[in-house]
A and B are shown apart, each in its own frame.
Chain A
Amino acid sequence: MTTRNLRRQPTGRAVRLARTIAATTGVLMLTAAAGCAGSSLDTTANDTASGDTITVGLILPKTGPYQSLGDDMTEAWDLYLELHGGKLGGHTIVTKTADEGTDEATARKSALKLLDQDHATVLVGSASAVPSAVIAPLAATRHVPFIGTGGRPSDKVIPDVSYVWHTSWQSRETGAAIAPYLARTIKGSVYAIGPAYTGGYDQLGGFTDAFVKAGGKLANPEGGNAPGGNAFAETPFPGTKDYKPYLNKVRASGAKAVYTFYAGADAIQFVKDYRDAGLSDVPLYAAGFLTEGDALESEGANADGIFTVLNYSPTISNQANAELVQDFQKKFNKTPTLYNVTAWDAAQVLDLAIATASATPAGSPSSAPATSPSSAGASLAASNPASAGPTANGNGSPSTSTSAGTVPPVTGQAINTAIAGLGQINSPRGAFRLDPASHAPIQPFYLRKVQSDGRSRSNAVIATLIPAN
């Protein structure tokens, strides 16, 4: 009865309604865009680049699935500065921040804000490959060094690395580091699955290429059918909210293990769905981001027993790591993550490079020994003066302040040149050096396993896949 009445009116209304929705969505998008532009009204920094201070633009995710990575990086950057009297290489550092967002437009707008409004001499940051690719060409044209703290996309994405350095990792090397090991130890095929975006293509591509080359066999159907024979099962990115449909195919493939890469919020969901899909008897191997940082905390017991490959673990034994773990325990009551370490090392690299750049008048060759980073010792020196040893260069000491005014400003170009000459860096991950060609670290990689001691969980090192240099 009533339904008949209703059916007479609806069509016009439904169409009008749909149209209104479409129109409103358009209006809203414009409003949102305007809102973003408005947020960068920052009137303070007009020429902070006087002799004594250097402005660093910190560009990290403050929104989106990688927000917690950005938080980790920010806290390590702040802690390094705090322990070093707010200075890097003897210069007071003014840190300006901006959100890298999740898309290219946001990253570009934020980078331009840091360059044009804040007049940053150096850019530091990026948690994912997408903003990294946007910032790199800007850095090159402006002669502003960019120290990346998140995944470095492959050469195809960033062809010119003259002003780009990464203290993190190259997106393809994580999977490549574990591939020979899996090809050797897994008796059967491996199912490769990951997100369909730049970071996922590089992370999984790095794995499948090296894995097939080492004689491994892929279990996912894409692995056999694609022309290259080494593709992975792709999940839409961003926006996959349930991985079970994709994981349901693993069982039928007869895989003896799964290899994957997810990070941040996606990692938490993937690990949960892996258990729910009844795959607990199929060993899960992953790039370490799957169980890194806040993700591991949220995953809880679901993460126990997952094997990962990464260039850091808080259980690595070396002095720089012992100090970092202690500093983090004291300040935040938690263990450091890789995201903490990449930002920490970015500060360390700049500490060393700025010291060299300001000690070297323009043009003359560098004479400062760059091989003994002040920072590893200085982190304790600042918090506990009694243990301070004599540091190689006076610039590293927190109390020494070169008199303001007489010092010529340190240019981005000079810092960039100094970074190229740094040599070995004593990182908590183990010693690494920046490759002169790729400008990315030549560094160790570890096989880790999620273990719980009843109170807390950690990624414990169970083997070294690639040794430190």
Chain B
Amino acid sequence: MGSTSATIAVTGLGGLAYGLLLFVVAAGLKLILGVMKVMNLAHGASYLAGTWLAYLFADGTLTGLALALAAGLAAATVGGAGLAALLRPLAGHTEQAVVTLGLVGIVVWLFSRISGGSSLTVPRPGLLDGHLSFAGHGYPIYHLVFIAVAALIAVVMHQVLHRSMAGIALRAAIDDPPIAATLGLSATRIRIAAITVGTALAVGAGVLGAPVLGPAPGVDATVLTLSLIVVILGGAGTNIRALLIAALVVGMVDYVGAVVAPGLASFSLFLVVIAVLVVRRQGLRTAVAA
């Protein structure tokens, strides 16, 4: 009894979907916080807004999902630009944090008004509804499709960052702002673009991820905390692969940990975070000493 290999496999699949969801959100946060050095605590609220849009447009068809995604990207463009303008005069992280936390308060209040404090169930498109069965275990088809889509997003992101003009400009602006400026790259424009794209990733993840982690009280905080953890574990720089691995570790620890060591489920993730951070520092020290 207890955990058979089928139990662990199907749970691992859940961890994979969750890890990829966190990856997309965390990539956005990485762009805003890690790269542009803007402290945006409203990133989880952006995800919540995305799930809410998915709920609004969901009508059981793929068209409804596509409409929600379009609306989400439009909202993220407006919201991201607004956020960039709002945070522009604020230099310090603390000021940015307080202002974005105020935004969280507003979003959470609006959500509790609209939803009456309940979790809202976002219906999956009919085509992707239902679940597959393996050895008596079920797994939702939508989640499998989500895994494929999120993996595709990861690949595209990697390509854009390393192959496209926009990616090169972004990396140039990070690596050497003065030289980038002499080449005619506007730091302001890049900053606005990064915040907008970052927000769009969170909102987009919310729209697509709503049937996985849907609109509910507290979802914004969960997503913010976990994506912060992913960004910190992923380390500095624009290393997409490290970020992906960090996100998958978080997803797996959260899911498989719940089956293997249920007693530790509420804090096992933090044990891993502490272990990774300590080992990384230790590693650096030995590297310096050598």
Q: What residues of chain A have their CB less than 8 Å away from a CB belonging to chain B?
A: 2-3, 5-7, 9-11, 13-14, 17-18, 20-21, 23-24, 27-28, 31, 61, 63-65, 67-68, 70-71, 196, 221, 233-236, 238-239, 241-242, 244-246, 248-249, 251-254, 264-265, 268-269, 272, 275-279, 294-295, 298-300, 302
Partner of A245, one of B41, B138, B255: B255
Contact with A along B1-27 (1 / 0, CB 8 A): 111101100110011001000000000
In the bound complex, what is the Cα–Cα distance between A122 and B34 (angstroms)?
53
Q: Is the CB of B39 within 8 A of A245?
A: no
Contact with A along B191-232 (1 / 0, CB 8 A): 000000000000000000000010011110010000010001
Closest chain B CB from A258 CB (angstroms): 14
- Given the known interface contacts A9-B236, A245-B11, A265-B117, the answer about A65 and B93 at a Cβ–Cβ threshold of 8 Å is no
Closest chain B CB from A26 CB (angstroms): 10
- Given the known interface contacts A18-B232, A23-B94, the answer about A251 and B137 at a Cβ–Cβ threshold of 8 Å is yes
Looking at B39, B117, B121, B213, which has the most chain A CB atoms within 10 Å of its CB? B117
In the bound complex, what is the Cα–Cα distance between A7 and B175 (angstroms)?
11
In the bound complex, what is the Cα–Cα distance between A295 and B218 (angstroms)?
17
Closest chain B CB from A106 CB (angstroms): 15
Q: What residues of chain B have their CB less than 8 Å away from a CB belonging to chain A?
A: 1-4, 6-7, 10-11, 14-15, 18, 33-34, 37, 39, 41, 93-94, 97-98, 101, 112, 116-121, 131, 133, 135-140, 171, 174-175, 213, 216-219, 222, 228, 232, 235-239, 255-256, 258-259, 262-263, 265-266, 284
In the bound complex, what is the Cα–Cα distance between A302 and B123 (angstroms)?
11
Partner of A249, one of B2, B133, B140, B266: B2
Write out the residue numbers on chain A whose beta carbons fall within 8 Å of the beta carbon of B222: 239, 241
The A interface is mostly helix, strand or loop, or mixed, namely: helix
- Seed contacts A68-B118, A275-B138; 16 additional CB < 8 Å A-B pairs: A7-B236, A17-B34, A17-B37, A18-B232, A20-B39, A24-B41, A27-B94, A31-B101, A68-B116, A221-B2, A235-B258, A252-B7, A253-B1, A265-B216, A278-B139, A298-B120
In the bound complex, what is the Cα–Cα distance between A445 and B188 (angstroms)?
66
Closest chain B CB from A393 CB (angstroms): 38
Q: Is the CB of B3 within 8 A of A63?
A: no
Q: Is the CB of B236 within 8 A of A298?
A: no
The residue of chain B having its C-beta at the shortest distance from the C-beta of A9 within the complex is B236
- Given the known interface contacts A221-B1, A251-B137, A253-B1, the answer about A71 and B236 at a Cβ–Cβ threshold of 8 Å is no
Write out the residue numbers on chain B whose beta carbons fall within 8 Å of the beta carbon of A248: 7, 10-11, 137, 259
In the bound complex, what is the Cα–Cα distance between A416 and B140 (angstroms)?
54
